[in-house]
Structure 1
Amino acid sequence: MTRSYEQTCRIARALDVLGERWTLLIVRELALGPRRYGDLLADLPGMGTSLLAARLRHLERYDVVRRTVLPGPGRAAGYELGDRGTALTPLLASLVEWGGGLAPPPPGSFDRAAWTMLAMRLTAPGEAVDFDTVTEIAVDGETLWLQGDGERVRLETGPAPVKPGLRLTSGRATFQALATGRTTVDDAMASGELAVQGDADRARLFFDLFSLTNPSPTHGR
């Protein structure tokens, strides 16, 4: 049973829903798009299946997550953010910024390019919503896609649903260096560490907008 602080304070009441271990990481994963239960379990190493099931049931009660049917063959069951979960986007963005000031994680910590790309989207400036090129990002076996529609930036795991106008392929170290401004698109292309399919100017704009060095993010996308 989920514990309660039994306080009227709104912070305490929010923590009654969100304060348990793993809860916000489930929200993080679903901020990358709808997912199957097995995919959530695989991408949350260290979380057992019974605990994940319990957390999902708890979050469903508050419309933080909801069940959905995933597109594609077989129409598999999955989970997505509910309206109350989507409303947590500014909180996730603030946690990205706050966490950026901490010391680096211990060597060997589990890492995914998807988490870096999510942080890039969450802290991007407001004009990023106008980046309407369907962009596919392939990093060491991980594939994601992104597109702005003028109101929000959609980011999901997996191949783009249509032929991308821009495809970026690199290793994890190069992607991190591009994301944090430690190298440029031109230098990474010249060294062969970044492959760009599409307009190189759009690739430069992508890393200008979706950069973890952006000083003035606008939240709520």
Structure 2
Amino acid sequence: MPPRPPARPRRSYDQYCAAARALDAVGDRWTLLIVRELLAGPRRYTDLHADLPGVSTDVLASRLKDMEQGGLAERRRLPAPVSAYVYELTPRGRELLPVLRALARFGADDLGDRAPTDAVRAHWFALPLLDGVALEEGLLEVCLPEGGFHVRVGGDGVVSYGDGPAPGVPDARMVLDAGAAVEVGRGVLGVGEGVRGGRIVVSGEGALAKALRAG
């Protein structure tokens, strides 16, 4: 991991406008994609760099420092014997989840076919899926050929997601490919329709699984 960069003056639009203030905090290139990664849980610097193809080490370190200064993220040391540092979002940083969901919804129609040069990670499909699927309370594990992620809906309706398999036994498991995931996120394919058409497999017997199959 490169040395942590020194604090630098933040650029500002110098406009007395809430949208401009928000862009002062997250408008730099790569910042919102770093937020996307950290919404999936605490990440080590090396993991962030691996899942942000194209970002330089200098830029990544600089953006993380800016996010710490802005109160969006924090860096903490994992307890022994791991002895590693991770970055995670603060409560203020997690408030950006609906912003990323809205951006995913806005950009879904522009995805088109995947180009040979396009990188892809399974958990990148979580944001559009959160808008394309009405979820009951519970823990959902989503499996794609590229990997998997999990989504948790609390009793208060709060939604969170994480990279990798579900911690513990999920209430439902959904298996699909990237094409189906994109269509679900765009709202052109319902999960129930995908199940009936053989493009999506949903397992589980609880309310969450039954709601997905009926959706």
Name the TM-score class by shorter chain. 0.7 to 0.9
Normalising by structure 1, what TM-score? Answer: 0.75
Return closer, same or farther for 1:176/1:205 CA change in 2, 3 Å cut-off.
Answer: farther
- Give the match for residue 127 of structure 2: 118
- Give the match for residue 204 of structure 2: 198
* Distance in 2 between residues matched to 1:186 and 1:162, nearest whole Å: 28
Q: Runs of 5+ in structure 1 lacking a partner?
A: 210-221
Return closer, same or farther for 1:5/1:153 CA change in 2, 3 Å cut-off.
Answer: closer
RMSD: 3.2
Indicate which of 14, 28, 41 corresponds to 1:7: 14
Return closer, same or farther for 1:208/1:64 CA change in 2, 3 Å cut-off.
Answer: farther
Contact 1:63 1:82 in 2 (8 A): yes
Q: Runs of 5+ in structure 2 lacking a partner?
A: 1-7
Within a 5 Å distance, the mapping from 1:1-221 to structure 2 comes to 1=8, 4-5=11-12, 7-10=14-17, 11-69=19-77, 74=82, 76-100=84-108, 102=110, 104=112, 107-108=115-116, 109-121=118-130, 123=131, 128=135, 131-151=136-156, 152-179=158-185, 180-182=187-189, 184-185=191-192, 188=195, 191=198, 193-199=199-205, 202-203=208-209, 205-206=211-212
* Distance in 2 between residues matched to 1:164 and 1:103, nearest whole Å: 30
Normalising by structure 2, what TM-score? Answer: 0.77
Q: Between 94-103 and 76-85, report the one with greater CA deviation.
A: 94-103
Report how far residue 44 of structure 1 moved.
0.7
Q: Between 168-177 and 52-61, report the one with greater CA deviation.
A: 168-177
Does the residue aligned with 1:134 lie in a helix, a strand or coil?
strand
Q: Deviations over 1:79-113 (max 9, x none)?
A: 11112212223322332333245473773322333
Return closer, same or farther for 1:208/1:48 CA change in 2, 3 Å cut-off.
Answer: farther
**Identity among equivalent pairs (%):** 32
Return closer, same or farther for 1:3/1:160 CA change in 2, 3 Å cut-off.
Answer: same
* Distance in 2 between residues matched to 1:158 and 1:106, nearest whole Å: 22
Return closer, same or farther for 1:75/1:162 CA change in 2, 3 Å cut-off.
Answer: farther
Return closer, same or farther for 1:202/1:30 CA change in 2, 3 Å cut-off.
Answer: same
* Distance in 1 between residues matched to 2:182 and 2:111, nearest whole Å: 16
Q: Between 146-155 and 197-206, report the one with greater CA deviation.
A: 197-206
Q: Deviations over 1:185-209 (max 9, x none)?
A: 4654664x44433139744623777
